């Protein structure tokens, strides 16, 4: 009904089941939201000529690489969340070959629940924190991702397929936490720990660095450094 009445030109699917650890116990729900529902949206977009853009994740990879993942790197998710997101990619392409899929990593913003907001809260409550230092990746400020999506739309050039997008720079979660602390002027002590000291129901990729060159080449976007974007986000939170 909605598509018939409004005939949207674009649909950007940001909806997802993102509770990574809870997904291990709620597999059916995760696959319903991250897999099946994506196929439904892709199919209806195909039917009405609506351009479909879907957000995916670095968790489709197993994290064993040592160089940045490009779009052709073999997928091998290690968690229910990752597997359900990979299923969504397959559903999108199966039901709508004109889909654009953007894989991103370590997303945060001034809204919702995310690493940056959690760290600020904990730093205000505790004298010291323990943060893993052997999971490596690139943070992505959601506002930068939104800008990149709008650049695709305003470019007038729709090139279907999978793209990778994150901010520039390669760090650990520990490095990220230290930067947050320093930028907000907290005195909280941050202690580096290995993943083995912080077991979680879902396995996290130890290497989540994405190769963004296809996005840059196809759409001429320039990437911000992660620290620049973190400063902008923290300023907006003030």
Residues 6+ apart with CB under 8 A from 32: 17
Confidence of residue 130 (pLDDT cuts 50, 70, 90): very high
Confidence of residue 226 (pLDDT cuts 50, 70, 90): very high
Residue 59 catalytic?
no
Arithmetic mean of pLDDT over the chain: 97
For 87-116, write each residue's pLDDT tens digit.
999 999 999 999 999 999 999 999 999 999
Mean pLDDT confidence for 79-86:
98
Spot the catalytic one: 81, 108, 141, 163. Answer: 81
Residues 6+ apart with CB under 8 A from 6: none
- The pLDDT > 90 percentage for the chain reads 99
pTM of the shown model: 0.96
CA distances from 153 to 85, 167, 224 (A): 23, 20, 20
CA-CA distance, 213 to 202, in Å (whole number)? 29
Tokens of 233: 């986000």
Q: Are 85 and 162 in contact (CB under 8 A)?
A: no
Q: Are 45 and 23 in contact (CB under 8 A)?
A: no
pLDDT at 1 over 90: no
pLDDT of residue 215: 97
For 214-223, write each residue's pLDDT tens digit.
999 999 999 9
Element (DSSP H or E) covering residue 30 = helix 27-31
Mean pLDDT confidence for 41-56:
98
For residue 187, the tally of other CB atoms under 10 A from its CB is: 8
pLDDT of residue 106: 98
Mean pLDDT confidence for 148-156:
96
pLDDT at 234 over 90: yes
């Amino acid at each position: 009904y909605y598509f018939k009445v409004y005939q949207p030109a674009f649909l950007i699917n940001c909806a997802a089941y993102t509770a990574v650890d809870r997904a291990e116990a709620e597999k059916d729900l995760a696959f319903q939201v991250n897999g099946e529902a994506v196929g439904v949206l892709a199919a209806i977009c195909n039917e009405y000529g609506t351009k479909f853009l879907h957000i995916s994740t670095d968790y489709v990879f197993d994290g064993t690489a040592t160089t940045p993942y490009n779009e052709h790197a073999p997928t091998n998710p290690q968690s229910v969340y990752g597997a359900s997101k990979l299923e969504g990619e397959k559903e999108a392409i199966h039901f709508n070959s004109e889909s654009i899929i953007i894989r991103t990593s370590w997303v945060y913003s001034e809204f919702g629940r995310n690493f940056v907001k959690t760290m600020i809260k904990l730093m205000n409550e505790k004298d010291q924190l323990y943060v893993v230092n052997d999971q490596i990746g690139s943070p992505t400020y959601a506002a930068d991702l939104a800008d990149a999506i709008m650049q695709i739309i305003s470019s007038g050039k729709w090139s279907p397929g999978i793209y990778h997008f994150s901010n520039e720079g390669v760090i650990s979660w520990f490095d990220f936490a230290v930067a947050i602390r320093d930028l907000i002027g907290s005195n909280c002590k941050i202690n580096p720990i290995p993943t083995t000291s912080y077991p979680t129901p879902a396995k996290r990729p130890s290497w989540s660095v994405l190769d963004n060159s296809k996005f840059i080449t196809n759409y001429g976007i320039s990437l911000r450094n992660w620290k620049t974007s973190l400063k902008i986000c923290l300023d907006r939170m003030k």
